[in-house]
Structure 1
Amino acid sequence: MEIKTVLVSLVLAALGIAVALAGFAAEALKPKKSQLKVVYHGLDHECDYPSSPVMRIAIAAVVALVIARTIITATTGGCCSCCRPIPSASKFARLCIRISWFMSIVAVILFIVGAILSGEKGVEIDVNDVFYCYTLRPGVFGAAGIIGLVSVLLGLVYYFVYLLARSRAAEKSGVDLELEKPHVTDVKKPTKL
């Protein structure tokens, strides 16, 4: 394997793991119901939320996912690589890159929506007219992290298939060129009389 291939693979794997870890970290650090308090100011009610790094973690995960997606796109022939024909590429490879794109978009949306909703400071009223503070449902950031990791791994599978198809095409064209090469003979140049 070339050094570039190893380097790209390691960077993509590190970014995928970083996305997953960020998802689990955000899930663990988001405000819990037990940490939230409803503060009464006469007739007004508001929630007292503890400070949380969830927004920064979610943004970092989105940036890591976008960088991974950019690397995959740049190393596999541009943004339309899933639609352009690649010599000897399988339908499996095309399916991998399309699912990878879809999963990346879903993970980014989950991270962004989760970050926005975890900072929601609204007071809700339940059925019994009891005030409570809004909290994000469990599993949103964890799911975003897992989906992001899987999308990067599918992109990495596509990257390897793309490199294999490209090397096979280069080998095939090299063989064809050797077969079509004209036979060179020693021919004496005619002498002038």
Structure 2
Amino acid sequence: MEAGVTVLLTVMVGLFGLTSAVLGFIAEAQSLTPSDIHVSGSECVYPANPAHALGVCAILLLAVAQITASAAGGCCGCCRPGGGASKSTRRVVGVIVAMLSWIMAMIAVLYYWKGVEWNAPGTHPAAIAGGNEECVYFKDGGFTRAAILSIVATSLAIKSCFLLRAPASTPEALEGADEPKADGQHPPEAGVAVGLPQWPAPGNGHAPYSHPAQG
């Protein structure tokens, strides 16, 4: 049951993260170019375009993916009980991977937000360069970098889910199976049949049966 829940959560994280990346690639293709921006007096006029909405949706989906992964991993391992030595090592690695995932996601969000800001419809003051008025625009490749970082962050988030939700298989748990019971009896070894005799043994109140001698 636990394995099924883990798979379902990681599928959800992957779906949200990959959708965010796909929207980022589409936003790159729809991003404003210098030919789309018009100069009116001393201001640059930025027309409406799909890249603005796509960038916002990409940010939201990436945030949902990261939050889902953190919740699945028990708040990066802080809300789940610890275990033995191997469990603790796996938990530390899972927390590190989760932190790297969040770092990659935050950098991706910065790229997304910058693209959203410069693709929003509105006006901005024109910059004067060499006596000419120029308009600032989001450079090519910004949304693409954000999309690639989204994929990296999602992959790390999925890895952290598996590390933090994996069942413990510590040596202590294995040794506990061979410990003697409370009454001092040891569990039967493998390959040894345990049971009661089907026929009464001699000396328990019944004389062995024998045929009378024939003359």
TM range (shorter): 0.7 to 0.9
Please, what is the CA RMSD of the aligned residues? 2.9
* TM-score normalized with structure 2 length: 0.70
One of 122, 125, 143 as aligned partner of 2:124: 122
Whether 1:60 aligns to 2:61 is no
1:105–1:181 Cα change, 3 Å: farther
Whether 1:103 aligns to 2:113 is no
* 1:100, distance to aligned residue in structure 2 (A): 0.8
Q: Decide which moves more: 139-148 or 45-54.
A: 45-54
Q: How is 1:130-141 mapped onto 2 (pairs within 5 angstroms)?
A: 130-141=132-143
**CA deviations over 1:54-79 (Å, ceiling 9, x no partner):** 22211211111111111111111125
- How many Å separate the matches in 2 of 1:74 and 1:175? 32
Q: Which structure 1 segments of 5+ residues have no match? A: 186-193
- CA radius of gyration, larger in: 2
1:69–1:181 Cα change, 3 Å: farther
The count of residues paired between Structure 1 and Structure 2 equals 178
* 1:147, distance to aligned residue in structure 2 (A): 0.9
**CA deviations over 1:59-117 (Å, ceiling 9, x no partner):** 211111111111111111125649x9653416543432221111111112221232113
Whether 1:183 aligns to 2:180 is no
Which one has a larger percent helix, Structure 1 or Structure 2? Answer: 1
* TM-score normalized with structure 1 length: 0.77
Where do 4+ consecutive residues of structure 1 move more than 6 Å?
Answer: none
Q: How is 1:147-186 mapped onto 2 (pairs within 5 angstroms)?
A: 147-164=149-166, 166-169=167-170, 172-173=172-173, 176=176, 179=179, 181-183=181-183
Q: Which structure 2 segments of 5+ residues have no match? A: 186-215
